[in-house]
Structure 1
Amino acid sequence: MTQMTRRMAMATMGAALATPAFLKKAHAAEVTLRVGHFLPGVAPMQTRFFDVWAKEIADATDGAIEMQMFPSMQLGGKPPQLADQARQGIADITWTLPVYTPDRFPVAETMAMPFMVTNAEKTSVAMHTLMDEFGQNEYKGLKPLAFHTHDGGKFHTRGQRVSTAEDLKGLKLRAPNQATGKMLELMGAETVFFPVTEMVVGLSNGVIDGCCLPYEVVPAFKLQELTSISNEPEAGSRGLYANTFALVMNERKYEGLSDDLRKVIDDHSGIDLSRRLGAQFDEFEAFGRGVVEKQGNEIHTIPGAEIAKWREMATPVYEEWIGKLNDAGLDGAAIVGRANELLDAG
C-alpha cells in the first residue's frame, strides 16, 4: 500500500468512526423539556408560537434540547395550577395567567387592571419592564422567560349592544379577572369568573349573557357561533382590560442545564421574547376579528368619550389595588404610576 493510499484509508476510517458521534449530537436530544398550557393544540399560541419557538431552540442547540408539548392541560390539573406545576417539576415550562391565582403575583397582575392596555406588543414590553423593576421576587423557584399580555378585551354578547354603562346593568358577564369584574359590577353588571376553558358551557346553557375577551380567543372556542355582537372601544382608546401571562421554567431544570444550553434559553427569552409574544397576539387579534366578521356578527363601537368616563368610574378599583400592593410590602402607587407611564410613553 502506498503512503498516499494509506493516508486516504486512515482518513476514511476516521470519518467513519466520527460519524455516529456527530449524528448523536445533531439528532439525539440531551434534554427534553415538557411544556404545558391550557389552550387547545389548534390554538395559534401552539401552532404559531410554541411550535416555532421549540424548533428555534432545537436548531440553536443542534437538537440537544427537545420540547414536548402538552396543550389542553394534558399533564393533568387545572389552569390555576400551571405555575405550581412548573415549580414542582410536573412540567418544565408552563404558560400561565397570574389572574388565575388572584393576589398571589400582584406585580404581574397589575397590568390586568381595567384600561391598562394599548396594544399587546407595547403593553407586553411595559409589563416585562415593570417586572424587571418591581417583580423580581415574585416567582421564586421559577425562571421567568417572558411576560406579556393580549390585546384589549371586548364585550362579546348574545344580543346586547353596549354603548354606555347603562347598557351593562343586569347583564350576566363572565369577567376575565377580579379587577375587571369589580369595574363591571360598579357599572351594574352581574359577573361570574371561571377559566376561559369553561366559558363555552356558560354561554351555551345561558348562565352568562356574554363575556369580556379579546378577539384572539374567539376562534379556538368558536365563540363567534355562541355570540352575535362584539362591542369594542373606539380606536385610540385604552382597551377594557388585558390579562397578563407568564412563561416560566422550573428553576432547578434551568440551573441544571450546561452553560451552552442555558445560554440558548437565555438568548431565546427575556424582553425580546415578551415583545415578540405581544406582537404575535396583535396578529392573533386581527385574525380573530376577521373570524367574527366572516361569521356575520355585528361589531359595535363603544365611543371613546364613554371609555374615558369608565376609567373615572374605575378609580376605586385602582385605589383598592394600590392598597393590596402596599399590603404585600410594595409601593403600590409607584407601581401603578410606572405602569401608566410606560403605557403613555411614545
Structure 2
Amino acid sequence: MTRLTRRAAMTAMGAALATPAFLRRAQAAEVTLRLHHFLPAVAPMQSQFFEPWAKEISDASDGAIDIQIFPSMQLGGKPPQLADQVRQGICDIAWTLPVYTPDRFPVAETLSLPFMVRNAEKTSVAMQQLMDEFGGGEYRGMKPLAFHAHDGGKLHTRGKAVTSQADMQGMRLRAPNQATGELLAALGAETVFFPVTEMVVGLSNGLIDGCCLPYEVVPAFKLQELTQFSAAPAPGARGLYTNTFALLMSERSYDRMSPDLQKVIDGASGAALSQRIGAQFDAFEAFGKSKVEEQGNTIAEIPAEEIAKWQEMAQPIYDSWAGKLGDDGLDGAAVLKRANELLDAA
C-alpha cells in the first residue's frame, strides 16, 4: 500500500469512527416489521395513523426499525385471521377486531356490547384499562401494543330513517358484531354479519337495506352514496355500540429485537397510544359526518326515551355475556361492572 493510499484509508477509518453510532445505524434498518391490516390504503387510518406512527418509530430507533405497511389484506387471508397471522409469524404486527372471531377474546369484546361507548377517545382509555386489569391472558403468543374503540355507531339506511323500534321492523341490516346483531334482531330487524370490506357489495346489490357503523367508515367506502339516511342517539346518551380493536405484535418478533429497540416499541405503545388512536378516531368521525352532510343525506335523531327502551331490551345480552366470561374463569359481573365504571369515569 502506498503512503498516499494508506493515508486515505486512515482518513476514511477516522471519519467512520467519528460518525455517531445512530448515523451509522441509520444507513440500513436492523429490523423490518410487516404491519398487516384490512382497510384500503386510502383509509385515514393508514395515512393519518399507521404511516406517521411507523415514521416515528423509525426516527426514534435512528432508522433501525422499518415498518412496512400492507393494507387490504395484501399478505393474504381474511380479516378474521389477522390475530393468528401475528401469532404464526405471517406478519409481525396486525390491526384487527376481536369481534371478527366471536367469543375468542371475550374481555376485549366486552365494550362491543350495545351501549358501552362514549366517544372514541374516552372509550379507548377505558378499554385499555379494562384489558390491563382483566385481559392479560387473552393474547398468548402476541404482544398487545394498544387497544381502542371507535365512536358510537349510527344507523345508515336506504329508503327511510330508523328512529324507533317500529321503523326497524323487517329491515335487513348488516350488524357490526354479534351482540349488536342480537339487539337489532330483538328490535325487529333481519340481521346479517360480514366484514365491513364486503358491505359495499351488500348495499349495492340490495342484500341489505342498511348498516350500523360510525361515520368514520363513510369516506373509505363512499357510504354516503349508498345510503340516504343516518340516525344517532340523542346527545347525552351512550352510543348504540362500538367495535373494539387490537394492535398486536408477534412476541417472537419482539423477542428477537435488541433491548434498546424493544424500548422504542414499548415507548410507542400502551395507554398513551390507545388514547391517541381514540382521539384520532374522533377526528375521523367528524370528517365522515361532514361527507354525509355534503351529500345532502338526512341525519335523524333517535329520542332519548326510545334509547332507554332499547337499553332495557339489551339486558339479556349483558347477562349472557357475563356467563361467557364466567366460562373463561372470570367474574363476568365484575368485568361488566368495572367496564361501566371506567366508561362513566372517562
TM over 0.5: yes
Contact 2:36/2:71 (<8 A) preserved: yes
Residues 262 and 189 of structure 1, relative CA distance in 2, 3 Å threshold: same
Percentage identity across aligned positions? 73
Partner of 2:50: 50
Which portions of structure 1, spanning 4 or more consecutive aligned residues, are displaced by more than 2 angstroms? 9-13, 16-24
- Separation (CA, whole Å) in 2 of partners of 1:259 and 1:166: 59
- Separation (CA, whole Å) in 1 of partners of 2:23 and 2:123: 43
Q: What is the deviation of 1:27?
A: 2.7
Contact 2:86/2:92 (<8 A) preserved: yes
Residues 283 and 17 of structure 1, relative CA distance in 2, 3 Å threshold: same
3-state SS in 1 of match to 2:261: helix
Partner of 1:130: 130
Residues 19 and 197 of structure 1, relative CA distance in 2, 3 Å threshold: same
3-state SS in 2 of match to 1:146: strand
Q: What is the deviation of 1:329?
A: 1.2
Following superposition of structure 1 onto structure 2, how do residues 237-252 of structure 1 map, counting pairs within 5 Å? 237-252=237-252
Structure 2: give runs of 5+ residues left out of the alignment. 1-6
Matched, 1:100 2:100: yes
Structure 1: give runs of 5+ residues left out of the alignment. 1-6
- Separation (CA, whole Å) in 1 of partners of 2:282 and 2:37: 20
Following superposition of structure 1 onto structure 2, how do residues 212-291 of structure 1 map, counting pairs within 5 Å? 212-291=212-291
Following superposition of structure 1 onto structure 2, how do residues 1-346 of structure 1 map, counting pairs within 5 Å? 14-15=14-15, 18-19=18-19, 23-345=23-345
- Separation (CA, whole Å) in 2 of partners of 1:151 and 1:164: 21
**1:214-237 Cα distance to aligned partner (Å, 9 max, x none):** 000010001111000011111111
- Separation (CA, whole Å) in 2 of partners of 1:144 and 1:37: 15
- Separation (CA, whole Å) in 2 of partners of 1:74 and 1:34: 11
Q: CA RMSD in A?
A: 1.8
Contact 1:98/1:108 (<8 A) preserved: yes
Contact 1:231/1:301 (<8 A) preserved: yes
- Separation (CA, whole Å) in 1 of partners of 2:319 and 2:21: 62
3-state SS in 1 of match to 2:112: coil
- Separation (CA, whole Å) in 1 of partners of 2:16 and 2:316: 73
Residues 68 and 301 of structure 1, relative CA distance in 2, 3 Å threshold: same
Alignment length (residue pairs): 340
- Separation (CA, whole Å) in 2 of partners of 1:242 and 1:217: 12
Contact 1:27/1:62 (<8 A) preserved: no
Q: What is the deviation of 1:294?
A: 0.6
- Separation (CA, whole Å) in 2 of partners of 1:223 and 1:194: 16
- Separation (CA, whole Å) in 1 of partners of 2:11 and 2:209: 75
- Separation (CA, whole Å) in 1 of partners of 2:20 and 2:139: 42
Residues 327 and 17 of structure 1, relative CA distance in 2, 3 Å threshold: closer
2:153 partner amino acid = G
- Separation (CA, whole Å) in 2 of partners of 1:12 and 1:180: 66
Q: What is the deviation of 1:26?
A: 1.5
Contact 1:121/1:278 (<8 A) preserved: yes
**1:80-114 Cα distance to aligned partner (Å, 9 max, x none):** 00000000000000000000000000000000000
- Separation (CA, whole Å) in 2 of partners of 1:10 and 1:256: 35
Q: What is the deviation of 1:18?
A: 4.9
Q: What is the deviation of 1:12?
A: 7.4
Residues 133 and 21 of structure 1, relative CA distance in 2, 3 Å threshold: closer
TM-score w.r.t. length of structure 2: 0.95
TM-score w.r.t. length of structure 1: 0.95
3-state SS in 1 of match to 2:59: helix
Q: What is the deviation of 1:24?
A: 3.9
3-state SS in 2 of match to 1:111: helix
Q: What is the deviation of 1:158?
A: 0.8
1:121 partner amino acid = E
- Separation (CA, whole Å) in 2 of partners of 1:169 and 1:118: 27
Partner of 1:3: none
Partner of 1:4: none
- Separation (CA, whole Å) in 2 of partners of 1:257 and 1:117: 36
